[in-house]
């Protein structure tokens, strides 16, 4: 029953889903040490903003997606200022009682989890109160391609192309731009970076905006293929976390590799044994990977590289 | 730190017993604290006279789950997202065994089996992780993924092939036929669920009291005192050392992996006990206990209460679950979210340590023996 | 009734101020602590508890249930109440959270002392609260369409069962399109049992299940499922997908160009996918239902009918779904039973319900789904008027078939007879049909 094209398309589909689900989370986690449990709700913002600008404002889909991405990035900046860095409450604190109210959530993994979990409760229920239990959806563009007895949605194939382009784009940002350089310097050694004149606070803000924007883009891209309700972010969370951790410390390469490995495993098992086993295999693979590569795939690669250098 | 010498010399038996429960690893080492503690316990004993004890027993049961995370994470630095795995294993094991052997002796054995089940689950997962070199946030994610696996798996066990003896696992719809909780053997047994006991209370007349509430209360108070003794013992100090700096603790010759594994198993057994009581109280268990929401709750209780405080875990569990159950209306979830967000931002070390600090600051001359303040929370080691 | 709570209330009335004042803040959970002994007050009003989701995962499908219950209660109160007594409503949002359901059910029974309870959307919720319901012998209406088989002295499962829903749509599709069926279903109790019913009904209708696949509730990518269906090339698909994630299937199969006819017991009537999704996602889909907003009966879509009354009370409501109608008519069934029993005492009301309440015999407004709706006293289920509703590529919905279908599994196959033999069991088709194995 294994059909090569089916398997390939299934792999591309899983790969795109995992990479897109994980990208924003990976950047925020990798650079800021913040676990964003509201990641799914940032995707929700992107999906809703896209859908509403297409259905209510009548924008063409591509423009609506751009709006969705930008709205989420802007929302990310607001969250960063108010919650993650605490800049706004602290500004108020300095003006009123002369001291800071809050400590930034950078590198406080558990605290950032509780804070963003609270945020996600607010956002899901807020979306429900404002927009109701669902909103109308936009149709999926591009039709389908047919091969033999089978056919596949063209748009889902386009998504895998987009996910590769996105990885390349993020890689470019982090290796070729000034922001990327300073951001990586900040991960390596925040104190030194600051001593050398890097405005680390701005780096964090920009990072959170980029991470949020990527989550928004994910929501925008999947909006035409999903049904729109306030809990839609949940379906991305598991894949996102698994991919980030299996990927390891190197954000872009890690996401790409874990998307590739986990996507392949899920595609093969889904294709052979059905959706249930595909899902269990994905989760089991993640546990085994972490057991034997405790620092993720890229951590493992780094270890091998440094060992080889020592050997020479 | 290791020499505990209360100013009254530690001569009397009471003082020596008390010394076991005190130390730098717990807050509340003063006379005032213990008086307050006794008042609180007395208030909880009297609570069914005025309040909804049937509901409150849920909070007591869940407090045990909160404590299990507090000891694993707050005291040993292992942030487990999977306490609900052992909670669920405990509940399901209890259900399966008690349905198959529904005599009082069988049900009592089922309680023990549930606790052991939680412990074994933790032993397997803990050995897999700690002896495989998994550390820090990766432990968190592996335990999280373990809950996902169990949820996906349990949800599809509706078919008749998923039957253990006479007990059908029941898939998503759970196991409704759990017998009522009885402890003891044969005639020397007592039924704790749905067995209100009429008691004459001076000033109140005859009132019917729910024995399950008192069972949960006794277990909770006992567990709390037991864990206090543990974390203030030499072993407890080793646990805290692992939390503060794993590498340095290893240099000093401690077997860090074993300490982590032992505490993880203890936490698993405790979560298992909580799960047993949960299943017994609801006469029901289903895969909801393995959902992401339920897995997140213990982390929230312990963070809000103060993760380095056992008392904080209990108080926060009771408070948050009370709010979750009673808050109604369209904005209930928004308010809960805002509460969590606000607490963690403004009181990052938790509510109970903050209250404790306020009390100490407002009492400039502490006459009694208070241990040195817990070292200022250095976040370095715990994440 | 739970004795401990009654005694506590008596004691509260007698003792007044509490001694343990420090705990007063913790006892607010009872809410009703001001209530005095209930025997005097409960005679004047009928206390109805309604626990339906307005937030969380099931809000989309639960909110219309809540609204329809409120509509029925408002209408009954406006027309003189039940047997001259006004209805007092206790309604809290369980937030799709089974733990909250369990606590609120206890509160409804022990603190609010309700005479009757409507609660819950999913089967899992029903099973989570049924131990409490049965223990307290509480009269309970479960109104969602479901897998069937609950034979319970205190539960009235008045929604249509899988056998009724699939039993109207599957034979129709067999006639229209051919014998080869492919089943896709959500991977939990409801889906698995419904898939068993597809096999039983396929056997009875000379059809054949050529493939079946179960999909975890968390899954929202359906590429391989669509491929598998194309590979099997069935005459039609039976879909028992459930929940928000699974809704994506209909969008994805449309964009993949899969145009095989699909029969369903779960789509459209509950989550109104034909209104929410962009056409042609739901094209060529046939739903077996007892009710949809579009069901063309006089008492439903006629002037001043059920649809008109609902949107008059809730002008912004998005849809009037299958379960909403079930909540609505079962409230009237309860009214009729109380008036027949002449008391609110629950054993007597249950007895009255078991005598076989029938609605709509005089073309009354209470039975929007058809001419009559009859409660089967032996099984506590309803002989529904069932419809096959078809959506076209513009998502217009039309009725293509309708007939009265009795509950058959419990009454004919199992032999459930609750007045004679009170029990609290759920039966499954596997135990009775070889084909379901």
DSSP secondary structure of B236-257: HHHHHHHHH-HHHHHHTT--HH
Is C22 buried (19+), middle (13-18) or exposed (0-12) by CB count in 10 A?
Answer: middle
Query: Which of the residue ranges B173-187, B232-246, C101-115 would you say has the lowest mean pLDDT?
Result: B173-187
Q: Which pair of tokens denotes residue B346?
A: 């403004």
Does A272 map to a domain?
A: yes
* Residue in C with minimal Cα distance to A121: C56
Question: Quick check: A101 and B300 CB within 8 A?
Answer: no
pLDDT at C37: 39
Please list every residue in chain A whose beta carbon sits closer than 8 Å to the beta carbon of residue C224: 6, 10, 267, 270-271, 274-275, 278
Query: Which of C57, C245, C255 faces A153 most closely, judged by CB atoms?
Result: C255
Query: Which of the residue ranges A181-190, B344-353, C11-20, C277-286 would you say has the lowest mean pLDDT?
Result: C11-20
- Taking the CA of residue A137 and the nearest CA in chain C, the distance in Å comes to 5
Tens digits of residue pLDDT in B281-335: 999 999 989 988 888 889 889 988 888 889 999 999 999 999 888 887 778 788 8
Question: Quick check: B142 and A108 CB within 8 A?
Answer: no
Q: Which pair of tokens denotes residue B267?
A: 């936490």
Query: Which of C22, C128, C431 faces B43 most closely, judged by CB atoms?
Result: C22
Question: Quick check: B288 and C124 CB within 8 A?
Answer: yes
Tens digits of residue pLDDT in A211-264: 999 999 999 999 988 888 888 888 888 888 888 878 877 777 888 888 888 888
Question: Quick check: B332 and C3 CB within 8 A?
Answer: no
Q: Does the pLDDT at position C39 exceed 90?
A: no
Query: Which of C219, C231, C276 faces A279 most closely, judged by CB atoms?
Result: C219
Please list every residue in chain B whose beta carbon sits closer than 8 Å to the beta carbon of residue A114: 299-300, 303-304, 340, 343-344
Tens digits of residue pLDDT in C160-171: 999 999 999 999
Question: Quick check: C430 and B160 CB within 8 A?
Answer: yes
* Nearest Cα residue to B94 out of B119, B118, B64, B114: B114
Q: How confident is the model at residue B203 (pLDDT cuts 50, 70, 90)?
A: confident
The domains of chain B are located at 51-289
Q: How confident is the model at residue B33 (pLDDT cuts 50, 70, 90)?
A: confident
Q: Does the pLDDT at position C182 exceed 70?
A: yes
pLDDT at B11: 62
pLDDT at C361: 54
Please list every residue in chain C whose beta carbon sits closer than 8 Å to the beta carbon of residue B39: 22
Query: Which of B204, B209, B322 faces C15 most closely, judged by CB atoms?
Result: B204
pLDDT at B373: 42
CATH class label, C163-293:
alpha beta
Q: Which stretches does DSSP call E strand in A112-257?
A: 144-147, 150-153
Please list every residue in chain A whose beta carbon sits closer than 8 Å to the beta carbon of residue B307: 110
* Residue in C with minimal Cα distance to B161: C437
The secondary structure of C395-431 as a DSSP string is --EEEEEEEEE---IIIIII---TTTS--EEE--GGG
Could you tell me which chains touch chain B, where touching means 3 or more CB pairs under 8 A? Answer: A, C
Q: How confident is the model at residue B41 (pLDDT cuts 50, 70, 90)?
A: very high
Could you tell me how many CB contacts below 8 A there are between chain A and chain B? 131
pLDDT at A311: 64
* Residue in C with minimal Cα distance to B283: C131
Q: Does the pLDDT at position C2 exceed 80?
A: no
pLDDT at B335: 85
Q: How confident is the model at residue B381 (pLDDT cuts 50, 70, 90)?
A: very low
Any residues with CB less than 8 A from the CB of A194 and at least 6 apart, and which? A200
Please list every residue in chain C whose beta carbon sits closer than 8 Å to the beta carbon of residue A227: 244, 247-248, 251, 273, 276-277
| Cα angle for residues C185, B84, B195 (degrees, 5° grid) | 95
d(CA C269, CA C290): 9
pLDDT at B89: 95
Highest mean pLDDT of the ranges B138-152, B162-176, B227-241: B227-241
Does A145 map to a domain?
A: no
Q: How confident is the model at residue B191 (pLDDT cuts 50, 70, 90)?
A: confident
pTM of the model: 0.85
Burial B345-367 (b: 16+ CB within 10 A, else e): bebbbbbbbbbbeebeeeeeeee
Q: What does the DSSP 8-state code read for residue B375?
A: P
pLDDT at B135: 74
Any residues with CB less than 8 A from the CB of C297 and at least 6 apart, and which? C305, C368, C369, C370, C371
- Mean pLDDT along residues A93-117: 82
pLDDT at C365: 61
d(CA A138, CA A226): 9
Question: Quick check: B173 and C98 CB within 8 A?
Answer: no
* Nearest Cα residue to B267 out of B297, B298, B292: B298
Please list every residue in chain A whose beta carbon sits closer than 8 Å to the beta carbon of residue B299: 110, 113-114
Strand partners, B190: B183
Q: Does the pLDDT at position A265 exceed 70?
A: yes
d(CA C212, CA C336): 43
Does A141 map to a domain?
A: no
User: The domain containing residue A20 runs over which residues?
Assistant: 4-132+154-311
Q: Does the pLDDT at position C379 exceed 80?
A: yes
Q: Does the pLDDT at position C17 exceed 60?
A: no
- Taking the CA of residue B244 and the nearest CA in chain A, the distance in Å comes to 15
Tell me whether 0.85 is exceeded by the ipTM: no
pLDDT at A87: 83
Please list every residue in chain A whose beta carbon sits closer than 8 Å to the beta carbon of residue C259: none
* Nearest Cα residue to B78 out of B299, B331, B232: B299
Tell me how many domains chain A contains: 1
Question: Quick check: B339 and A118 CB within 8 A?
Answer: yes
Of all residues in chain A, the percent with pLDDT exceeding 90 is 17
Residue A106: CATH number of its domain: 1.10.3470
Please list every residue in chain C whose beta carbon sits closer than 8 Å to the beta carbon of residue A279: 216, 218-219
Q: Does the pLDDT at position A1 exceed 80?
A: no
**Structural element, H or E, at residue C211:** strand C208-215
Tens digits of residue pLDDT in B242-278: 999 888 999 998 999 999 999 999 999 999 999 999 9
The domains of chain C are located at 1-41, 163-293
Contact status, residue C424 vs residue C152, Cβ threshold 8 Å: yes
Could you tell me which chains touch chain A, where touching means 3 or more CB pairs under 8 A? Answer: B, C
- Taking the CA of residue C307 and the nearest CA in chain A, the distance in Å comes to 20
Instruction: Round the average pLDDT of chain A to a whole number and report it.
Output: 85
Query: Which of A133, A135, A140 faces C63 most closely, judged by CB atoms?
Result: A133
Tens digits of residue pLDDT in A2-42: 577 878 888 888 888 888 888 888 888 888 888 888 999 99
Q: Tell me chain C's radius of gyration from C-alpha atoms.
A: 22
Contact status, residue B215 vs residue B111, Cβ threshold 8 Å: no
């Amino acid at each position: 029953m294994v059909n090569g094209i089916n398997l390939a398309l299934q792999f591309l589909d899983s790969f795109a889903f995992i990479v897109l689900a994980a990208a924003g989370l990976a950047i925020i986690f990798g650079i800021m040490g913040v676990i964003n449990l509201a990641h799914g709700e940032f995707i929700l913002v992107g999906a809703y903003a896209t859908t509403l600008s297409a259905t209510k404002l009548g924008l063409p889909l591509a423009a609506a997606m751009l709006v969705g991405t930008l709205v989420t990035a802007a929302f990310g900046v607001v969250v960063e200022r108010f919650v993650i860095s605490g800049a706004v409450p602290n500004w108020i604190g300095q003006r009123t009682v002369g001291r800071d109210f809050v400590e930034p959530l950078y590198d406080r993994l558990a605290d950032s989890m509780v804070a963003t979990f609270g945020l996600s409760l607010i956002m899901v229920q807020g979306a429900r109160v404002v927009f109701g239990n669902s909103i109308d959806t936009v149709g999926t563009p591009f039709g389908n391609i047919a091969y033999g007895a089978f056919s596949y949605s063209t748009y889902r194939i386009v998504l895998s192309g987009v996910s590769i382009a996105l990885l390349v784009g993020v890689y470019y940002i982090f290796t070729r731009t000034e922001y990327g350089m300073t951001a990586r310097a900040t991960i390596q050694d925040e104190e030194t970076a600051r001593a050398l004149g890097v405005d680390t606070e701005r780096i964090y803000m920009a990072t959170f905006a980029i991470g949020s924007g990527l989550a928004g883009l994910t929501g925008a891209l999947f909006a035409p293929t999903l049904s729109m309700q306030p809990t839609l972010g949940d379906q991305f969370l598991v894949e996102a976390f698994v991919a980030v951790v299996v990927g390891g410390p190197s954000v872009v390469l890690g996401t790409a590799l874990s998307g590739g490995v986990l996507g392949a495993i899920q595609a093969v098992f889904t294709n052979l044994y059905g959706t249930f086993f595909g899902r269990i295999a994905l989760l089991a693979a993640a546990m085994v990977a972490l057991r034997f590569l405790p620092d993720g795939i890229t951590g493992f690669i780094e270890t091998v590289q440094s060992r080889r250098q020592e050997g020479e | 730190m290791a020499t505990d010498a209360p100013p009254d010399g530690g001569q009397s038996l009471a003082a020596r017993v008390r010394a076991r429960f005190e130390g730098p690893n717990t807050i509340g080492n003063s006379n005032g604290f213990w008086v307050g503690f006794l008042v609180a316990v007395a208030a909880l004993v009297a609570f069914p006279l005025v309040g909804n004890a049937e509901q409150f027993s849920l909070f007591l049961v869940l407090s045990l789950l909160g404590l299990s995370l507090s000891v694993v994470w707050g005291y040993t630095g292992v942030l487990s997202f999977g306490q609900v795995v052992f909670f669920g294993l405990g509940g399901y094991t209890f259900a399966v065994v008690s349905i198959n052997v529904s005599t009082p002796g069988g049900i009592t054995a089922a309680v023990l089996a549930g606790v052991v089940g939680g412990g074994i689950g933790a032993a397997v997962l803990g050995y897999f992780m700690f002896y495989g070199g998994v550390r820090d946030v990766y432990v968190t994610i592996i335990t999280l993924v373990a809950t996902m696996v169990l949820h996906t798996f349990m949800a599809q066990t509706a078919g008749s092939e998923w039957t253990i003896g006479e007990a059908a696992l029941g898939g998503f719809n759970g196991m409704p036929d759990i017998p009522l909780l009885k402890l003891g053997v044969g005639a020397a047994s007592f039924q704790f669920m749905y067995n209100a006991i009429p008691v004459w209370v001076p000033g109140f007349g005859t009132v019917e009291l729910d024995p399950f509430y008192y069972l949960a209360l006794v277990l909770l108070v006992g567990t709390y005192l037991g864990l206090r003794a543990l974390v203030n013992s030499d072993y407890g100090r080793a646990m805290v050392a692992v939390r503060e700096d794993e590498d340095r603790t290893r240099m000093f010759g401690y077997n860090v992996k074993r300490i982590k594994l032992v505490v993880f198993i203890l936490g698993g057994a405790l979560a298992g006990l909580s799960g047993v009581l949960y299943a017994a109280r609801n006469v029901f268990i289903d895969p909801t206990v393995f959902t992401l929401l339920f897995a997140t709750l213990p982390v929230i209780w312990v963070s809000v209460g103060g993760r380095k405080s056992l008392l904080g875990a209990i108080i926060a569990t009771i408070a948050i679950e009370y709010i979750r159950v009673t808050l109604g209306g369209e904005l209930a979830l928004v308010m809960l979210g805002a509460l969590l967000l606000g607490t963690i931002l403004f009181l990052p070390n938790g509510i109970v340590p903050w209250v404790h600090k306020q009390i100490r600051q407002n009492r400039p001359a502490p006459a009694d023996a208070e241990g040195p303040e817990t070292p200022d929370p250095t976040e370095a080691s715990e994440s | 009734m739970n004795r401990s709570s009654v005694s506590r209330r008596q004691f509260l009335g007698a003792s007044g101020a509490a001694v343990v004042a420090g705990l007063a803040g913790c006892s607010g959970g009872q809410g009703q602590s001001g209530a005095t002994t209930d025997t005097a007050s409960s005679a004047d009003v009928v206390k109805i508890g309604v626990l339906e989701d307005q937030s969380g995962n099931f809000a989309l499908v639960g909110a219309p249930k809540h609204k329809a219950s409120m509509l029925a209660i408002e209408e009954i109160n406006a027309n003189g109440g039940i047997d001259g007594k006004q209805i007092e409503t206790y309604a809290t949002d369980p937030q799709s959270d089974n733990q909250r359901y369990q606590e609120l059910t206890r509160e409804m029974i022990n603190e609010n002392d309700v005479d009757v309870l409507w609660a819950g959307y999913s089967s899992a919720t029903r099973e989570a609260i049924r131990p409490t319901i049965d223990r307290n012998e509480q009269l309970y209406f479960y109104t969602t369409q479901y897998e069937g088989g609950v034979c319970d002295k205190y539960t009235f499962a008045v929604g249509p069962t899988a056998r009724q829903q699939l039993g109207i749509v599957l034979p129709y599709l067999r006639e229209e399109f051919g014998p080869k069926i492919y089943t896709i279903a959500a991977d939990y109790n409801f889906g698995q049992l419904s898939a068993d019913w597809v096999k039983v009904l396929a056997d009875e209708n000379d059809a054949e299940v050529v493939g079946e696949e179960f999909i975890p509730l968390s899954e929202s990518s359906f590429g391989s499922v669509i491929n598998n269906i194309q590979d099997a090339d069935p005459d039609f698909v039976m879909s028992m997908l459930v929940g928000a994630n699974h809704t994506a299937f209909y969008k994805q199969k449309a964009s993949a160009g899969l145009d095989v006819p699909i029969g369903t017991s779960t789509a459209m009537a509950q989550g109104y996918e034909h209104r929410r999704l962009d056409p042609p996602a739901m094209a060529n889909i046939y739903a077996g239902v007892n009710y949809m907003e579009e069901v063309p009966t006089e008492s439903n879509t006629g002037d001043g009918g059920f649809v008109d009354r609902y949107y008059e009370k809730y002008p912004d409501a998005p849809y009037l779904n299958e379960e909403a109608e079930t909540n609505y008519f079962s409230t009237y069934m309860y009214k009729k039973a109380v008036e027949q029993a002449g008391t609110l005492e629950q054993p007597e009301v249950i007895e009255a319900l078991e005598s076989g309440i029938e609605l709509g015999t005089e073309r009354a407004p209470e039975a929007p789904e058809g001419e009559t709706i009859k409660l089967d006293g032996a099984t506590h289920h309803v002989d529904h008027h069932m419809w096959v509703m078809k959506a076209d590529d513009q998502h217009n919905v039309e009725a293509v078939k309708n007939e009265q279908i009795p509950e058959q599994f419990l009454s004919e196959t199992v032999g459930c007879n609750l007045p004679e033999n009170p029990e609290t069991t759920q039966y499954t088709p596997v135990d009775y049909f070889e084909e379901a194995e």
